[in-house]
A and B are shown apart, each in its own frame.
Chain A
């Protein structure tokens, strides 16, 4: 009853080892070219951490190229060598093999080892990025529809769409948004962080080449998203200093000069709802959202100091709102990021002082 079955030969196939050798040689040659390429992603680097990220790209590229070569070449080769011959009877069947536990062990074990190596290498670079020193210059980048504003510690006015940096100066950029999500992408530095309203993200870079580089919005933000492009201008020390003084840079950073007594509590209450309530409640200190509750700010024996270590006086609170805060406890954007005028700050202080009296 059973039909006669025509079984083909069961060797590895003609030319299996030459094809394997070809895959190995091709992968090694590609590995050589990837590892020695100065710009593996085809884009020049303008500073750290681009170098270590390019190195990771090269390493992944070598592994990926080898795997891809093997999969494509073996698939095509098996497809040609093991095709059904034209004149074969229709009941021809292939080699009736179900599994090969040793082979399966190795093709599970080797990728597992590769994954572990790649994960460790990626983690190492990630840790390096987290530990980067970047606080010689600190800049705030605020995204809005459709541009970037940059605030420097000693400049009164924001600079629009141009981020001036000093050559070889480690720089920390605090990133947030005024309206919707934006992306802050510095392709030549291989760094990116989303600009999220109500949240401050941080990237650290050290430019090592003078010139102009791109800032690209990488998160959809509206009709003109494609036109939201700025530039990084990396300058040497003299040029940077000249540009900085031309912007009206002054020494010292204060919250002084705010006329606190002119503050109106009801205007402050409205402002608080718009600008502060995303992170602060008006309950007790413990009713923490992102930041502490501020209902008893001026009258809280358990917390006699502000987060920056100063006393809880109206002037100190105004300064904290003006300067913002960044430390282990968290991050609060400055008044410039929050788009608060000095009069707004005074109104907020009046409102908070009123709350504490209740």
Chain B
């Protein structure tokens, strides 16, 4: 049993790994400008949560405006700014920072048995760019916020209010932050795994972060170039995009989507990773098809670079180019389908404990499948001619971004909350919260598909009176969703005040982060553990040795003889 698997190094290598830095003592170095990946992860989480609340409020203004055909609340130009800021903030300041910055930072180093990321100072800089960029973005409301949608297509964005310049700066900055994090994580995952953790013994969340990193630092450069050109054209009048002066509006669209389609996968692949952690833990089963799930993430990441022009089927590119983009887009359905089926097979034959994270994971399977299928309707070029630029697109993108990314964020938040805070949350309230969000979400966005097909374009502050019923239905449902989100924050506060102590491994999970105290000590692992086997074999004893009981580990050394059992 206790023999080391091939590739496990011991001896001098281990001695180097066992060097531990002292913990900083000043408040500022400990909690503000910390280089500890766990603190940085929590900083990302808090900052992202603030932007999530602001963006959610903007979304509710949008839905309230659409209660009446002529617009209930705000003037059309204000409305344009509000949905533009909602989209920009949700994409760049909520979903991406929460999935990679927050969960990636907090969980990934723990899961690979590292004491920190490869470049802690770079991590510190990458984080602090984020709130500064966020403040710059939202300060554009003071001078006239951007109003041409989160895509800011020129020429209209060239004429937009001054805040559009701030938008360029803020998104450019967050792109730098994202690039830094991508490189940091890539090196961390390649170089800092515990001895014995081969690539195919990595938890799937780590695989997901790994597949995301090249997207972060390759695609983001294209966006940076496009943003710089837009800024230079707006401020210094160099004509990149203005057709009247020799520029090309399509240039922006190509550059923007060359980033923003891979960005869709920056926003979903880590979510896939969260679902792949939650399902085996609560089904108490090995994940079904580990390698297929891991490799399909990489396949999706690679394919995502060659599908961007499916956002531009009606824009006026060379017609024959539409076909390869359509076919490659459709191909992405295959690795995605493999994942969905593998998750369903993980549920099959399980001993499923329907805790809140598991409910969110199952809800994710359903809503994300829905979003994937409507994606197929948009990929088929002839159908896209009808659907492009309508509420069908709005509904589709919210099914994959809310029903996919945000649902997985909720799953991850409930799943790792005990590890982060050391306390359990109220399970009953958690389940109620899930059903409020799940039902509210589906009732908000399903009718929008129909409205789009019937003739409601996106980005309008008013609409034909015949669409009012389903708009009101969607708006009222969105209020249920908003209440569910408020309840989520109440649950977290309640957990701090009344939550039971979580203990190191409340869910009986098998990955490394659950083998140490909750919350983890500053150095994570007193001794770097050696990894002997794959992460999700609940029928086998724990696959790790070398964990120290002094860290509050589940079992004292040797640990490989016992099974994890849920304590909550």
Chain A contacts to B: CB under 8 angstroms? 1-3, 5, 7-8, 10, 13, 41-43, 49, 52-53, 56-57, 60, 64, 67-68, 71-72, 74-75, 78-79, 82-84, 88, 90-100, 103-104, 107-108, 111-112, 115, 118-119, 122-123, 125-126, 129-130, 179-181, 183, 185, 187, 190-194, 196-201, 214, 216-227, 273-274, 277-278, 289
* Ranked 8 nearest A-B pairs via Cβ: A226-B460, A198-B243, A95-B349, A94-B285, A218-B389, A96-B539, A94-B350, A122-B380
Most B-side CB within 10 Å, residue of A179, A220, A227: A220
Cβ of B345 under 8 Å from chain A: yes
Q: What would 13 A/B residue contacts be, using CB atoms closer than 8 Å? A: A2-B541, A57-B377, A60-B383, A75-B347, A79-B352, A95-B285, A98-B290, A98-B537, A99-B292, A107-B341, A122-B380, A196-B243, A278-B244
B287 to chain A, nearest CB (A): 8
B290 touches A99 (CB 8 A): yes
B128 to chain A, nearest CB (A): 34
Q: Which residues of chain A are near B331, meaning CB under 8 Å? A: 115
Nearest chain A residue, comparing its CB with the CB of B365: A75
B373 touches A278 (CB 8 A): no
B322 touches A78 (CB 8 A): no
Most A-side CB within 10 Å, residue of B149, B246, B457, B563: B457
A122 touches B284 (CB 8 A): no
B380 to chain A, nearest CB (A): 4
A187 to B245, CA, bound (A): 33
A216 to B460, CA, bound (A): 11
B349 touches A226 (CB 8 A): no
Which residue from A104, A192, A278 sits with its C-beta under 8 Å from B292? A104
B382 touches A126 (CB 8 A): yes
Cβ of B156 under 8 Å from chain A: yes
Residues B532-561 near A (CB distance < 8 A): 537-541, 561
Residues 136-154 of B, flagged 1 when their CB comes within 8 A of A and 0 if not, give: 0000000000001100010
Cβ of B462 under 8 Å from chain A: yes
Q: Which residues of chain B are near A13, meaning CB under 8 Å? A: 348-349
Which residue from B323, B334, B374 sits with its C-beta under 8 Å from A115? B334
Cβ of B12 under 8 Å from chain A: no
B77 to chain A, nearest CB (A): 5
- With A75-B344, A82-B283: A108-B334 Cβ-Cβ less than 8 Å: yes
A5 touches B539 (CB 8 A): yes
Q: Which residues of chain A are near B462, meaning CB under 8 Å? A: 226-227
Beyond the given pairs A56-B382, A194-B316, 9 more chain A to chain B contacts, judged by CB atoms under 8 angstroms and listed by A's residue number, are A2-B561, A75-B362, A93-B284, A96-B286, A115-B334, A181-B153, A181-B249, A190-B386, A192-B385
B457 touches A218 (CB 8 A): yes
Q: Which residues of chain B are near A193, meaning CB under 8 Å? A: 314, 316, 385
Q: Which residues of chain A are near B508, meaning CB under 8 Å? A: 90
Q: Which residues of chain B are near A129, meaning CB under 8 Å? A: 382, 385
Cβ of B402 under 8 Å from chain A: no
Nearest chain B residue, comparing its CB with the CB of A50: B386
Q: Which residues of chain B are near A226, meaning CB under 8 Å? A: 76, 457, 459-463
- With A190-B385, A218-B457: A103-B345 Cβ-Cβ less than 8 Å: yes
Cβ of B337 under 8 Å from chain A: yes
Cβ of B80 under 8 Å from chain A: yes
B388 touches A192 (CB 8 A): yes
Residues 115-149 of B, flagged 1 when their CB comes within 8 A of A and 0 if not, give: 00000000000000000000000000000000011
Cβ of B381 under 8 Å from chain A: yes
A63 to B474, CA, bound (A): 27
A347 to B555, CA, bound (A): 89
Nearest chain A residue, comparing its CB with the CB of B292: A104
A88 touches B337 (CB 8 A): no
Q: Which residues of chain B are near A71, meaning CB under 8 Å? A: 340, 344, 365-366, 369
Nearest chain B residue, comparing its CB with the CB of A72: B366
Residues B228-245 near A (CB distance < 8 A): 243-245
A92 to B342, CA, bound (A): 22
A84 touches B382 (CB 8 A): no
A95 touches B455 (CB 8 A): no
Residues B412-456 near A (CB distance < 8 A): 450, 453-455
Residues 326-350 of B, flagged 1 when their CB comes within 8 A of A and 0 if not, give: 1100110110011011101101111
B537 touches A96 (CB 8 A): yes
Nearest chain B residue, comparing its CB with the CB of A6: B351
A42 touches B323 (CB 8 A): no
Q: Which residues of chain A are near B323, meaning CB under 8 Å? A: 123, 126
Cβ of B518 under 8 Å from chain A: no
Nearest chain B residue, comparing its CB with the CB of A226: B460
B314 touches A97 (CB 8 A): no
A59 to chain B, nearest CB (A): 9
Q: Which residues of chain B are near A97, meaning CB under 8 Å? A: 285-286, 288, 349
Which residue from B373, B388, B541 sits with its C-beta under 8 Å from A218? B388
B80 touches A220 (CB 8 A): yes
Most A-side CB within 10 Å, residue of B314, B340, B354, B537: B314
Cβ of B14 under 8 Å from chain A: no
Which residue from A53, A180, A217, A222 sits with its C-beta under 8 Å from B382? A53
B351 touches A8 (CB 8 A): yes
Q: Which residues of chain A are near B450, meaning CB under 8 Å? A: 42
Q: Which residues of chain B are near A194, meaning CB under 8 Å? A: 314-316
Cβ of B155 under 8 Å from chain A: yes
Nearest chain B residue, comparing its CB with the CB of A64: B373
B155 touches A42 (CB 8 A): no
A60 touches B352 (CB 8 A): no
A183 touches B159 (CB 8 A): no
Q: Which residues of chain A are near B165, meaning CB under 8 Å? A: none
Q: Which residues of chain A are near B380, meaning CB under 8 Å? A: 56, 60, 118, 122
Q: Which residues of chain A are near B315, meaning CB under 8 Å? A: 194, 196
Q: Which residues of chain A are near B457, meaning CB under 8 Å? A: 183, 185, 216-218, 225-226
Which residue from B366, B374, B461, B540 sits with its C-beta under 8 Å from A75? B366
A96 to B541, CA, bound (A): 13
A41 touches B453 (CB 8 A): yes
B559 to chain A, nearest CB (A): 11
A191 touches B350 (CB 8 A): no
